[in-house]
Structure 1
Amino acid sequence: MGMMQEFKAFAIKGNVVDLAVAVIIGAAFGKIVDSLVQDIVMPIIGKVLGGLDFANYYLPLNNQGMQMTLVEAKKAGAVLAYGNFITILLNFLILAFIIFQMVRVINKARRTTVAPEPATPATPEDIVLLREIRDSLKK
């Protein structure tokens, strides 16, 4: 029964619960950023670059032609899907930038709310007196 109580104490700790909440929110936030990149950012980039669709950019690694879509090419054999990689890389960069901005704001808030360190307490009178006696004896 001791191990179950120890596990319960571990699982209820604030850090474990905070981590679980962060993972769940992070997964949901990742889906939002993924949708932002695939549904908004990449189509705009594709339009600016002349109607390019990055999702179907690949290099076949066997003797197949490049007239197929990426899904068909993957069924036919190995492909190097660099367009998909560009999309995922952009997804990561946006997510990393947003997290960086959030950390900056949190750190800034912490700096403004942290109280300054208390001043060192005054030295007691008897210590001051003993130091004066010591200094006068040194002369």
Structure 2
Amino acid sequence: MTIQPIAPQPVTATGTTPQAAAVRAPVQTIDANVFMSLLVAQLKNQNPSAPMDTNQMMAQTIQLSMMEKMTELTSNSKEGFSLQMRSAASQLIGHSVGYTLADGTTGTGIASSVSFAGAVPTVRVGDLSVPLDSITGLTAPAAS
């Protein structure tokens, strides 16, 4: 049997051990603030006898600009897709739709209303709220 040593814990003036400090979750993405702080740190700590090449600095500035535009483009694309889903869900009202739910339940019915409360619009079919991405078919209403 191996005996593992126990690391000593500091004791405060009250005789209790302090609570462990909260662990900060690492940032998984680089945004403009992180990029700028890295660039400023690089400029502060550069060797005065061999300063940063201006071409490198321009390239990094261009990369920052491109990153900001890509982030803006991503945001705009998400907003556009959300608007398209809402429009598509609204156009289902009054039509006969077929659906397959996540549990495998299938069915058909007339879409009577739409809710935009969640990330994915839900279509009211009878007594069920069916997510738009579960709609599998559409039949136009009969002409009166």
Relative to the length of structure 1, the TM-score reads 0.30
The structure that is strand-richer by fraction is 2
Structure in which a larger fraction of residues adopt helix: 1
Q: More relative contact order in 1 or in 2 (CA 8 Å, sep 6+)? A: 1
Q: Which of the two has higher C-alpha Rg?
A: 1
